[in-house]
């Protein structure tokens, strides 16, 4: 496997690279586990 190959997750989703981080890591996700506005502001900063 090449580092730049797509990574297929057990749920069928694919990740285009190996650098990914869930919004829950910062405890700043919304009720649907998506990045919240506060998390977006954090990353912009």
Indicate the domain borders of the chain. Answer: 21-45
pTM reported for the whole predicted model: 0.42
> Residue 10: its pLDDT value, please?
92
pLDDT digits (tens, 9 = 90+) for 1-45: 677 788 888 999 988 876 666 655 678 888 888 888 988 898 888
Tell which residue, 36, 31, 32, 9, has the closest CA to residue 20: 9
Q: How far is CA 30 from CA 7, 23, 33, 36, 41, in A?
A: 25, 9, 5, 5, 14
Backbone angles phi, psi at 29, to 5 degrees: -90, 165
Predicted confidence at residue 1, as pLDDT, reads 64
- Nearby residues of 17 by Cβ (< 8 Å), 6 or more positions away: 3, 4, 7
């Amino acid at each position: 496997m090449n580092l730049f190959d797509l990574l297929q997750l057990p749920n069928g989703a694919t990740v285009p690279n190996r650098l990914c981080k869930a919004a829950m890591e910062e405890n700043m996700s919304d009720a649907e586990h998506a990045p919240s506005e506060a998390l977006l502001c954090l990353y912009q900063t």
